[in-house]
C-alpha cells in the first residue's frame, strides 16, 4: 500500500459583487478613458476611486473631478511569487501611484521598466487598452509605464505613503 502524500482542499466563494454608486461612477468614467475622483467639500481632499464619502470628515462627497492619468510612484513592491490567474509573469512591480490631482494613491502594475529602476518618486502614466476595448473595469488600464519627467520631490508625496 503506497501512502497518500497530499490532497487538494479547495476553498471556493462565489459572490455577486455590487460596486455601489460611487464606484459605479468611477468605473463608468474608466469605460470612457477618464479617471474620476471626488473632492470632499470640507477638507478638499480628492479620493480616487471615491467610496462616496470622506472618511476624515464623515460627509458625503458629491463633487466629481477628473484627475490625470499621470502620477508619482509613492511606494512599490516586487511580486516574485507566482500564483494562478496573475495577469503578468513574475517578477513584476506593483506600485501605489499618486495621480496628479488626487490625494490618495492607487494600486497598479508597472511595466516597460527594469525592476532595479523602480523607485519612489518616479513619474508614470497609465497605458490604456485600445478605445474600442474600454469597459467599466480596472483592466481598461493595462499598466503604468515610466515617463520622461524628473522624479517628484519626496515632500510632494510624503503625506500619501
- Minimum CB separation of residue 5 from other proteins in Å reads 6
Question: Does 81 sit near other proteins (CB under 8 A)?
Answer: no
- Comparing CA positions, the residue from 63, 150, 144 lying closest to residue 108 is 144
Question: Does 70 sit near other proteins (CB under 8 A)?
Answer: no
Question: Does 87 sit near other proteins (CB under 8 A)?
Answer: no
* Residue in the structure block whose three cell numbers are 503506497: 2
Annotate each residue in 119-148 with x if it binds other proteins (CB under 8 A) or - if it does not, as one string. Answer: -----------------xx-----------
Locate 47 and state its grid cell. 479620493
Question: Does 3 sit near other proteins (CB under 8 A)?
Answer: yes
Question: Does 114 sit near other proteins (CB under 8 A)?
Answer: no
- Minimum CB separation of residue 138 from other proteins in Å reads 11
Nearer to other proteins, 8 or 89 (CB): 8
- Is 35 in contact with 69 (CB distance < 8 Å)? yes
Cα separation, 10 vs 152, whole angstroms: 45
- Three-class HEC string of 70-120: EEEEEEEEEECCCCCCCCCCCCEEEEEEEECCCCCCEEEEECCCCHHHCCC
Strand partners, 88: none
Nearer to other proteins, 90 or 135 (CB): 135
From the list 58, 80, 81, 84, which residue makes contact with other proteins (rule: CB under 8 A)? 84
Annotate each residue in 6-45 with x if it binds other proteins (CB under 8 A) or - if it does not, as one string. Answer: xxxxxxxxxxxxxxxx-xxx-xx-----------------
- Comparing CA positions, the residue from 24, 65, 34 lying closest to residue 131 is 34
- Minimum CB separation of residue 84 from other proteins in Å reads 7
Amino acid at each position: 500500500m503506497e501512502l497518500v502524500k497530499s490532497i487538494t482542499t479547495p476553498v471556493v466563494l462565489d459572490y455577486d459583487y455590487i460596486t455601489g454608486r460611487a464606484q459605479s461612477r468611477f468605473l463608468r468614467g474608466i469605460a470612457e478613458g477618464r479617471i474620476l475622483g471626488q473632492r470632499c467639500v470640507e477638507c478638499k481632499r480628492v479620493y480616487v476611486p471615491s467610496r462616496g464619502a470622506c472618511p476624515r470628515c464623515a460627509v458625503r462627497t458629491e463633487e466629481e473631478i477628473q484627475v490625470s492619468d499621470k502620477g508619482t510612484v509613492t511606494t512599490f513592491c516586487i511580486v516574485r511569487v507566482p500564483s494562478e490567474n496573475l495577469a503578468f509573469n513574475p517578477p513584476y512591480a506593483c506600485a501605489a501611484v499618486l495621480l496628479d490631482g488626487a490625494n490618495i494613491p492607487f494600486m497598479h502594475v508597472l511595466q516597460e521598466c527594469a525592476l532595479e529602476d523602480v523607485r519612489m518618486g518616479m513619474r508614470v502614466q497609465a497605458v490604456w487598452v485600445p478605445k474600442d476595448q474600454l469597459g467599466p473595469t480596472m483592466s481598461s488600464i493595462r499598466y503604468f509605464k515610466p515617463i520622461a519627467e524628473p522624479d517628484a520631490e519626496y515632500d510632494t508625496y510624503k503625506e500619501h505613503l
